[in-house]
Amino acid sequence: MPTLADLGLESSPHANPLSYPGAIPDRSGLLVDDWFTELRSVEDRPVGSYTVDPNGGGPVPAAPNPLEPLSLDQALAALDVTGVADRHPLLAVGSNAAPAQIRSKFDRCGITTALPMLRCTVDGWRRTILAHVSIPGYLPITVEPDPRARSLSVSLLLCDDEQLGAIDATEPNYRRLIAADSEPLTLDSGERLCGYLVYVGVRGSVRAADGSIMEFTTQERAIAGVHSLLSDELRAECGPDARSFVTATAGSPALRDRIRDHLAPSAAPQLAEVTANPPTYADLRRPV
């Protein structure tokens, strides 16, 4: 099981704001502490049947039978943590898809980081810039519903109760909602869930001068787009480029608030209440 550093996934936006959303793996994997091992999907089989890379090593024990790879459910059982069926599927479109960022969040809460992180695609969502500036100085991602949007490549986290609560606590600027068939999700195994959890920003998306929603591509482009919308006074305080913007905003809560207030008139989302009893993977599987 290679470490995050071995895989080039050690970058966290908490430590390097301009890297936001961070280093995101291009394949499904199981995160355990500082280790990340590939999970291989099994066509037409549930997620618990995904197989663990037999050459991974690390905290996950070897398969009892060397001729049969360890399944994800077997690996979770060996680690004495919650199995797939009782975990909550949570869409990750921003830094929650970066293993180093998730590990940082869990470490601060003192909880286990045994977390399946699955690659998937979703329809019906656009990745946009939240009308907010984070404490480290980066501009975070949110999503906007768009029935024309197709095959957005994202991650799906399978969280236990404690992990979901810890992530909730780090997302005060979002509401956790349940997405349904209008925003379908397809796992890399081909399985389609009936729904999933997703965070949507309470402040809405940044809009350009012509009223169009600004898509998120990279942090530097997001900052350039927001910088162009600011008043002359705010631009002067933020400096001429992305690095100066991050330095200025990270060092000044008041400046972050003024930028947020400046962007606020362009964003007024209407969101439902947070899901009090989040569904599990077992709840959201389609009948076979």
111, 109, 88, 184 alpha-carbon torsion, rounded to 10° = -130
What would the pLDDT profile of 47-105 be if each residue is shown by its tens digit?
A: 999 999 877 667 887 777 777 889 999 999 999 999 999 999 999 999 999 999 999 99
What pLDDT was estimated at residue 267?
52
Closest CA to 171 of 142, 214, 207: 142
| Nearest C-alpha neighbor of 151 from the set 186, 181, 178 | 186
What is the structure's pLDDT at 192?
92
The CA distance from 80 to 85, in Å, is: 14
CATH architecture of 17-205+269-284: Roll (3.10)
| Residue 69: DSSP 8-state | P
| pLDDT tens readout for residues 194-234 | 899 999 999 999 999 998 999 999 999 999 999 999 999 99
Instruction: Give pLDDT tens digits for 272-282.
Output: 656 678 999 99
Closest by CA to 47, choosing from 76, 79, 80, 78, is 76
Domain ranges of the chain: 17-205+269-284
* pTM of the entire predicted model: 0.93
- Smallest CA-to-CA distance from 191 within 28, 23, 1, 25 is with 28
